[in-house]
Structure 1
Amino acid sequence: MTTVSITSREGSSQTPRQNRRNVLGDGLSPYVSGGALAVIAAPAAGLTVAFPSLLHGVAVSNGNVRGTAVALLAVGLPVLIVAMIGTSRGSTRAFVVWLGTLGYLIYQAVLLCFATPMNNLFLLYVAYLGMAVWSTVMLLRATDLRAFAARLSDAVPARGIAAAALILVVLNAAAWLWKIVPATFSSRPVSVLDGTGLVVNPVYVQDLAIWLPLLTVAAVACWRRESWGLLITAAMLALFILESISVSVDQWFGSHADPTSPVSSMSMTPVFAVIAAITAGLLAWFLRAVDGAPG
C-alpha cells in the first residue's frame, strides 16, 4: 500500500474526486479468505459454547471463554459477513468495518489459543487464528489507499478521531499497567493472575505489545491526515466496539459461572456496553465523511 496524504491542512483536499474507484479491486482473494475464516471460526466458537465439558480451566475462565465464543457467533461473524457483502457492493464504510472485524477476530482467536487450556478443539482454534491472520494480510494486500483517500470528504474529522483514539490508548494502557506494575515489582508477580488459572494473560500481551502501539502510531498519522492512519484508526475503532461487546458478554458469563470470583463482575457488563456505544458514536462520526458508494 502507498501512503497518501489527503490534505495539506484541515479542510483542504489534495485528492482528485473524479473517476473514483472501489477501495478493493475485482480480485476474489480477500472474499475467499474471509469466507474460509467464517467457515472455520463458526464451529470453533459454536463447539466451545455447545460443549462446555471440553473446557478444563477454572470455572470463571471457562465462563469467560464461552462468553467470548457467544459474542463471536452472535456479533463478530455476522458483522464480518455483512461487511464483506457491503464492500462487494462498493461501500467503503463496509470495508472499514471489515478490516476492523478481522482485527477483532484475530484478538479472540489469540484468547482461544492461549487463554484456554489445551483441549480437543485446539487444532480448530489454531486454524481459526491462522486464517484470521492471513485474511487480514489478503485484505490489506488488495487495498488501494489512493482510492480510499478519494472516498473521504473534506469534512473528515481527522484530528478529533485521532485525539479520541489516543485517549482510548492512554486509558486502556493505564488500566492494565495499574495492575501489572505493582505486581511486577512485588515478591509475587503472578498475583496479578490470581483467580484466572492462567500462566500469562494474553490480553495484557496483545494490548501492550501490538494493538495499543498500532493504534498510537495510526492515530498520529490520522492527525496528519495520512490515508493509512485514517483507515487503521477507524478500523481500530470498529475493533474496540466489537471487543467491548465481547467483554460485556464474557463478564456476564464469567460471573454467572462463578459468582464469588473477583475476576469477572456482572456490574462490568453495562460498563462495557456503554463503552461500546461511545466508541460506536466515534466511528459513526468518522464514517459520515466516507462515501458509501462509487461516485
Structure 2
Amino acid sequence: MATRAPSRAVPWLWLSVAAAVLAIAGSVVGLAWPRPYAGLTPAFWPQAIAQDIANLVVASPLVLVSAALALRGSARAYLLWLGALSFTVYNYVIYTFSIPFGPLFLLWVGVLALCTFALIGGLAEVDRTIAQRFAGPRLLTAVGWVLVVAGVLFALLWLSEDVSALLSGTRPASAAELALPTNPVHVLDLAFFLPAVIGIGVQVLRRRPYAVAVAPVPLVFLLLTGVPILITPAVQAANGLPAGWSVALPIGVFTLVVLGLLVWLLATLRRPRTA
C-alpha cells in the first residue's frame, strides 16, 4: 500500500491547478509583452522578469505535477505541492502589492486567492502520522538546524539594512532601488515566512509530529526562493544591465544544500505499516 495524500485535500489540489494555469498564462504575457512592467525601475524590472521565468519553468509546473501525483495518492508529492504553493503565495503578494496596477492585476489577484485558500486548506489536511515514517533522527536534526540557521541569517541580513536606515532616517537602499515605500521581501520575510521557517525548524528539533510532517514544505520554499535570485543576473546581463553575479555563488551553494536535504528527507519516507 502506497503512502497517500489526504483525500479531503482534493478540492484544494484542484484549486491549485486552476491557479497554476492562470500563473503560467500571466508569466507568458509578462515575458512577451512589455506593458505590465513598463513602470518598473531598472533594478526592479530584471527581478520581475526572472520571477516570471521561475514561475513558468519551475514553480507552476511543480504545482501542476505535484498536484497530479498527490491526486493519485503520493504523500511525497503532496508535501512538494505545499512547498510550491507557499512560494507562489509569497510571490503573488509581491506581484499584487508592489507592481503598478495594470492589465495582469486581476489575474495576479486570482492566483493569490486560489493559492492562499489551497495552502491553508492543504496544511490543515496534513497527515501527522507522516512524521513517524521519516527515517533517520540525525537527518531530521540537520533539517531542523538548517531551517533555524537559514531563517535567522536572512532575518539578520534584512534587519541590518532596515535598522541602519531607521537610525539614519532614510529609506532602505533596496526599497529606494525598487521605487517602493518599503521592500516587500523584507516585510513578508520578517513578518511571516522567516518566523514560520524558524518555528518549524525549532519544532522539528523537538520532534513535534506536525512540524516533522511538514518539514519538507519550508525546504521547498527556500529552494524555490533561490531560483529567481540566480536567474536575475542572467536577465540583467542579457539586457545590458550591470549583473549582480556576486550573489550567485552563496545562493547557489545554499540552494544545492537545501535541495540535497529535501531529496534525502523525502527518500526516507517509508510506506505506512499495514495490518
Distance in structure 2 (CA, Å) of the matches to 1:150 and 1:66: 41
The structural deviation recorded for 1:291 is 2.6
TM-score normalised over the length of structure 2: 0.90
User: Does 2:66 align with 1:92?
Assistant: no
Q: 1:71 aligns with which of 54, 57, 64?
A: 54
Q: What runs of 5+ residues in structure 2 fail to find an aligned partner?
A: none
Q: Is the 8 A contact 2:12 2:117 kept in 1?
A: no
Matches within 5 A, 1:240-259: 240-254=222-236, 256-257=238-239, 259=241
Q: Quick one: which amino acid aligns to residue 126 of structure 2?
A: T
RMSD: 2.3
Aligned residues of 1:67 and 1:254 also touching (Cα < 8 A): no
- Can you give the 5+ residue segments of structure 1 that lack an aligned partner in the other structure? 1-18
Which residue is 1:170 aligned to? 152
Q: Does residue 61 of structure 1 match 2:44?
A: yes
Superposed, which structure 2 residues align to 1:142-221 within 5 Å?
Answer: 142-146=125-129, 148-153=130-135, 155=137, 157-221=139-203
Q: CA deviation at 1:222?
A: 0.6
From 83, 91, 111, give the equivalent of 1:128: 111
Deviation of residue 280 (structure 1)?
0.4
CA distance in 2 between counterparts of 1:215 and 1:227 reads: 16
Q: Which has the higher contact order (CA 8 A, sep 6+)?
A: 1
TM-score (normalised: structure 1):
0.84
Deviations 1:171-197 (A, max 9, x none): 111211121111111132344523222
Query: How far is 1:90 from its partner?
Result: 2.8
More displaced stretch, 191-200 vs 48-57: 191-200
Q: Following the alignment from structure 2 to structure 1, what is the Cα–Cα distance between the partners of residues 246 and 169?
A: 31
Q: Which residue of 1 aligns with 2:22?
A: 40
> Taking every aligned residue pair, what percent have the same amino acid on both sides?
23
> Are the equivalent residues in 2 in contact too, given 1:92–1:293 (CA < 8 A)?
no
Q: Which residue of 2 aligns with 1:138?
A: 121
Provide the aligned length of Structure 1 versus Structure 2. 273
Summarize deviations over 1:72-121 as a string: whole Å, max 9, x none: 00000111122122223332222211111111111111121123122221
The structure with the greater share of residues assigned to helix is 2
Q: Separation in 2 of the partners of 1:162 and 1:50?
A: 41
* C-alpha contact 1:145 1:228 (8 A) present in aligned 2: yes
Matches within 5 A, 1:111-122: 111-122=94-105
